[in-house]
Amino acid sequence: MRKTPIYLDNNATAPLRSSAVTAMNEAMGPPANPSSVHSFGRNARLIVEQAREAVSMLAGCRPADVVFTSGGTEANNIVLAQYNHVITSTIEHDSVRHAHDHCQQIAVDHNGVVDVAALAAAIAHIDDAQRPHTLISIMAANNETGVIQPIAEIAEMARRANIAFHSDMVQMFGKRRIEFTASDISYASLSAHKIGGPAGVGALLVRPGSRLSSLLRGGGQEQGRRAGTENLVGIAGFGGAAEDALGDIRHYQKMAKWRDDFEARMLAERGGIQIFGQGAPRLGNTSSIAARGKSAETMVMAFDIAGVAISAGAACSSGKVKSSHVLESMGAGPRAGEAVRISGGWATCIKDFETLADVFLHLYKKPA
């Protein structure tokens, strides 16, 4: 194993940025309830509002649209709970798929792109009285494949139909420019630990006029939209990471070339390679790739021994790898069990992708 392992599992979580650590260290120590009126409380409020400003800059929204939560999972759950009926897709994160009892799931094509015609048909079936109680929830970019969804088109369809539209932007945030205010999106979910902030903090963006009542009963924090004393240290870290991440968009554009070169090399030098979502627009950092005859679990372990950290298809939430609902709904069949997910992040460099390619070729010898 190499001395310093290479980390290519950023869609699971990204390394903490020093800007986040500094911001958290500064927030830690003095008693700090942002609702207190004394000077300690006012200082804490300042930290929260600076972080809100930084997050809003990265998301292209107004600071007032940012509601801090305990992460992407909570942000997704809050929005879905506001509506009686939800139209979503087969490739959403479990925190959307399992958050509502009345979820209608729209299929995706073999590249993992939501079937917009099927969505339009589903919308057409909703009568006028039901529309204010219906939510469309489609993610911006998939966590397993990086495939980007046509959310501008979907948001426009939703606006015309007078139906609220939510997008889980947890994976898109910080990697591509988000212009929330300029869009037709009603709500967006974000998570700090995917951009180099701490886990356990995130945000829900809420367009003015979109309904939102706190899921938790308690105090009036976050303008009555999310009860509970603010996670000051986490929020400070989120803000620190967001400030730093403003410069990342170009980094991810460059990474798309490193990722594409890696995939091209695998396809040219080895047989039995399949790349999922390659025919669709994708985030520049993600590759979902299968090597025929090699189970994902075996590959992940072999990579780990060789000093490269990747994951099997979906991130496993309890240490166990479960079959991927995303790849299955793309029609991957048994090959879904061979798919590994490679995902670069803010700290990834070209050499990491080159080493990844060398290790892959070493572990998988099947000739092209």
Active site (catalytic) residues:
316
Nearer to ligand PLP, 95 or 183 (CB): 95
Taking alpha carbons only, the member of 291, 311, 296 closest to residue 360 is: 291
CB 131 within 8 A of CB 163: yes
Q: Which of 164, 170, 326, 330 binds ligand PLP (CB under 6 A)?
A: 170
Nearer to ligand PLP, 34 or 202 (CB): 202
Smallest distance, ligand PLP to C-beta of residue 115, A? 19
Smallest distance, ligand PLP to C-beta of residue 171, A? 5
Distance CA 314, CA 269 (A): 26
The answer to whether residue 231 forms part of the interface with ligand PLP (CB under 6 A) is no
Mapped onto helix, strand or coil, the DSSP state of residue 52 is helix
Q: Applying CB under 6 A, which part among 117-125, 130-138, 164-172, 239-247 lies near ligand PLP?
A: 164-172
Phi first, then psi, for residue 199 (nearest 5°) are -75, 160
Nearer to ligand PLP, 118 or 199 (CB): 199
Smallest distance, ligand PLP to C-beta of residue 80, A? 12
Q: What are 117's two structure tokens?
A: 């015609």
Taking alpha carbons only, the member of 254, 362, 244 closest to residue 308 is: 362
Exposure b/e, 170-188, CB count within 10 A at least 16 = b = bbbbbbbebebeebbbbbb
DSSP state, residue 210:
S
Smallest distance, ligand PLP to C-beta of residue 199, A? 6
Nearer to ligand PLP, 198 or 359 (CB): 198
Tell me the CA distances in angstroms from 40 to 56, 136, 201, one per residue in order. 25, 42, 22
Q: Which of 191, 287, 324, 348 binds ligand PLP (CB under 6 A)?
A: 191
The answer to whether residue 88 forms part of the interface with ligand PLP (CB under 6 A) is no
Q: Which of 146, 196, 202, 239 binds ligand PLP (CB under 6 A)?
A: 202
The answer to whether residue 171 forms part of the interface with ligand PLP (CB under 6 A) is yes
Q: Applying CB under 6 A, which part among 18-26, 166-174, 214-222, 289-297 lies near ligand PLP?
A: 166-174
Distance CA 344, CA 11 (A): 8
351 exposure class (CB count in 10 Å sphere: 0-12, 13-18, 19+): exposed
CB 207 within 8 A of CB 167: no
State how far Cα 22 lies from the chain centre: 24
> Which residues 285-344 are close enough to bind ligand PLP by CB under 6 A?
315
Helix (H) or strand (E) holding 261: helix 249-269
Taking alpha carbons only, the member of 32, 92, 61 closest to residue 242 is: 61
Distance CA 250, CA 254 (A): 6
Distance CA 137, CA 223 (A): 24
Nearer to ligand PLP, 91 or 157 (CB): 91
Smallest distance, ligand PLP to C-beta of residue 321, A? 15
Nearer to ligand PLP, 202 or 345 (CB): 202
Phi first, then psi, for residue 293 (nearest 5°) are 85, -5
Nearer to ligand PLP, 324 or 357 (CB): 324
Site string for ligand PLP, 47-86 (x = CB under 6 A): ------------------------xxx-------------
The answer to whether residue 237 forms part of the interface with ligand PLP (CB under 6 A) is no
The answer to whether residue 197 forms part of the interface with ligand PLP (CB under 6 A) is no
Q: Which of 139, 148, 306, 340 binds ligand PLP (CB under 6 A)?
A: 139
Torsion of CA 331, 94, 340, 324, to 10 degrees: -40
The answer to whether residue 93 forms part of the interface with ligand PLP (CB under 6 A) is yes
The answer to whether residue 95 forms part of the interface with ligand PLP (CB under 6 A) is yes
Phi first, then psi, for residue 5 (nearest 5°) are -60, 150
Smallest distance, ligand PLP to C-beta of residue 95, A? 5
The residue ranges that bind ligand PLP (CB under 6 A) are 71-73, 93, 95, 139, 143, 168, 170-171, 191, 202, 315
